[in-house]
Structure 1
Amino acid sequence: MSAADTTTPAKVPPPRQAPPPPAAARSGRRRATSGQAATPWLLLAPCLLILALVMAYPLVRLVTLSFQKFGQPQLWGFQSADWVGLTNFTQVLTDGEFWAVVLRTVVFAVGSVVFTMVIGMAIALLQQRVSGWVKTLINIVLVASWGMPVIVATTVFKWLFDSDYGVFNALLSKLPGVHMIGHNWFASGPEGLAVIMLLVVWGAVPFVVITLSAGLTQVPRELEEAARLDGAGAWGVFRYVTLPVLKPIIVMLTTLSVIWDMGVFPQVFVMRGGHPEAEFQVLNTYSYDRAFVVNDYAQGSAIALITVLLLLGVVAVYMRQMLKIGEVE
């Protein structure tokens, strides 16, 4: 054995650990973290305060009225408002007319949402395949129609579908074998609601198109090219590439459209001259009718509160879908 083999190996000192930060540094770091967490709430505070001031009292008053007996005698102060518990809700929920209105509202909202999303998606996809000036022209038309006040748009549609002077009847009558002059679209509930649905879709499509067009710019072109190289057609590229990317936007737009279309009021109210017939009643007009026509403010408030709860159910479904999308991503 050589001398080199008997040499005692040198001991390597253990690595030195950094000393812990002083208490002042740790407390400063905690303050910085808490400050960063509080910053979003400070930025949202003005908006939340305004919402509380604008919505808190009406919502509390709505809930209060729904549990009271409140008509014109109570409104003018001749009688005190008596608490009746769940009587108003019982009367509403056991009324067959109310459930007919709910069904009509749901069918109206679903039809409006489906047509809005389909037409909006079609126009958004079309904008990706036209020249720049045509796309600009389409956007100008969409913004102009979107910015038109609801009352003005409703008046225009009343003229378009007028039984005597309506442009739509005149155009249909030019088709062979079609005679629509003098046809009253509002003589029956289904036809009249179809016209109102068309009005709602016409006003909602611009927002959907603009939002979907912005979302389509985020679809990776290389994924579309790879799908085409793999033999996918236009429908395959749309289904397996475009739709998954647009899913969060589609869920958001669908939920907002359901909320807006279930809460439709001015289109129906103005189209029927301020007095919607029974076959044209939706939840909002029905609540207004019970409160300000029948003068049963308590029952109108109960119907409005039930409507709010139904819309909160839609919001809950939306939040659940968005959380699922976030977990997958």
Structure 2
Amino acid sequence: MHDAPPPACGAPDPAGTPAERRPSGGGAPGGGRQRRAGSRLPYLLLLPALAVTAVLLGWPLVMNGLLSFQNLNMTQLIRHVTEWAGTDNYRAALGSEDFWRVTLRSVVFTAVNVVLIMLLGTLTGLLLARLGPRMRLLLSAGLVLAWAMPVIAATTVYQWLFAQRFGVVNWVLDALGFHSMAGFNWTGGQLSTFFVISLLIIWTSVPFVAVNLYAATTTIPRELYEAAALDGAGAAQSFATVTLPFLRPFLLVTTFLEVIWIFKAFPHIFAINEGGPDRLTETLPVYAFVEGVGNQHYGAGAAISVLTILILLALMSYYLRIAMRQEEDEK
């Protein structure tokens, strides 16, 4: 038998469909429209969240930016008068020695606390990975309770612990033989006040790092540790070659978040001593609040808050470049 000749151009094939009209991939005619609709679906689902974010976050930022260009105090508020000051608030802030002194203090305060939080949180997370189930559950419960405690409640506890006359810390130090600490005023000096604030911030921040780092360690395949042990690697070498590469992305993201949280920390500092003594423990958020609300210079406070956001963005841009460079090196 001879094979049948192919159908001529435009002639119907055995199925009755012209050869030039048959779909090449066997797909439905509406497949392209369905694919385009499917590609737009994620953006449509994000629209409600983006709209809520724009209203709750974007609008206050816009209003704060407009306020930073105004000369607004209690008189203008009562009279409902808007006095535009141009860039006077920004020039006054940038030309003030106090502003740059507080900025340097904020950067140093953030760096010290982030380093301590990441170090202690990493060690605690690795300890969780080594403990047995019961001890891990007990320690995890304590970490979660410390993390979940409201900031003002935690601040009240620390104020009681470090109280000058009836504080537990002074009583314990006196009982241990440090009698000069019996009536020590922890919030009477700059360094001692920062010590109390740092303890409070570290105590409330370490659980986040520790619990999440422990969760990250559970994703590391045990076969890699067994292979490293067969190659003669010790504990330090296993950590450097197996654990650390897996944890590096987590450490980068967590450090990024901790820098933001510590730099903008307000209730920890203000509730302990309102930025005292003599405004020596003010960071930029506290400084903006005191200048704006405390001194009723609302435009000046708004300008300082805008500058605080810009400084934080500058710090984060440098950190993001480091993170992106490291990600490219890993590829």
Q: CA RMSD in A?
A: 2.6
Matches within 5 A, 1:228-307: 228-272=229-273, 277-307=278-308
Matches within 5 A, 1:91-130: 91-130=92-131
Contact in 2 for aligned 1:124/1:213 (Cα 8 Å) = yes
Separation in 1, partners of 2:327, 2:176: 52
How far the C-alpha of 1:131 sits from its partner, in A, is 1.1
- When structure 1 is superposed on structure 2, of 116-125 and 68-77 the one drifting more is 68-77
Separation in 1, partners of 2:40, 2:317: 26
Closer/same/farther in 2, CA of residues 276 and 299 from structure 1, 3 Å limit = farther
Contact in 1 for aligned 2:187/2:277 (Cα 8 Å) = no
Closer/same/farther in 2, CA of residues 301 and 26 from structure 1, 3 Å limit = farther
**TM-score, scaled to structure 2:** 0.86
Q: Secondary structure at the match of 2:181?
A: coil
How far the C-alpha of 1:27 sits from its partner, in A, is 6.6
Contact in 2 for aligned 1:93/1:99 (Cα 8 Å) = yes
Contact in 2 for aligned 1:276/1:285 (Cα 8 Å) = no
- When structure 1 is superposed on structure 2, of 305-314 and 210-219 the one drifting more is 305-314
How far the C-alpha of 1:285 sits from its partner, in A, is 0.7
Matched, 1:34 2:36: yes
Which consecutive segments of 4 or more residues in structure 1 shift more than 4 A? Answer: 22-27, 273-276
Matches within 5 A, 1:97-246: 97-176=98-177, 179-246=180-247
- When structure 1 is superposed on structure 2, of 295-304 and 178-187 the one drifting more is 178-187
Contact in 1 for aligned 2:256/2:319 (Cα 8 Å) = yes
Aligned residues: 313
Closer/same/farther in 2, CA of residues 27 and 294 from structure 1, 3 Å limit = farther
| Structure 2 counterpart of 1:203, one-letter code | T
| Structure 2 counterpart of 1:222, one-letter code | E
Q: Which runs of 5+ in 2 are unaligned?
A: 6-18
Contact in 2 for aligned 1:259/1:314 (Cα 8 Å) = no
Residue in 1 aligned with 2:54? 52
Q: Secondary structure at the match of 1:279?
A: coil
User: 1:213-257 CA distances to partner (integer Å, 9 max, x unpaired)?
Assistant: 110111222222333333332222222221111111101110100
Contact in 1 for aligned 2:275/2:286 (Cα 8 Å) = no
Separation in 2, partners of 1:235, 1:120: 18
How far the C-alpha of 1:319 sits from its partner, in A, is 4.2
| Structure 1 counterpart of 2:237, one-letter code | G
| Structure 1 counterpart of 2:43, one-letter code | W
Residue in 1 aligned with 2:10? none
Matched, 1:70 2:72: yes
Q: Which runs of 5+ in 1 are unaligned?
A: 1-12
Residue in 1 aligned with 2:16? none
| Structure 2 counterpart of 1:81, one-letter code | E
| Structure 2 counterpart of 1:114, one-letter code | V
| Structure 1 counterpart of 2:64, one-letter code | L
Closer/same/farther in 2, CA of residues 306 and 26 from structure 1, 3 Å limit = farther
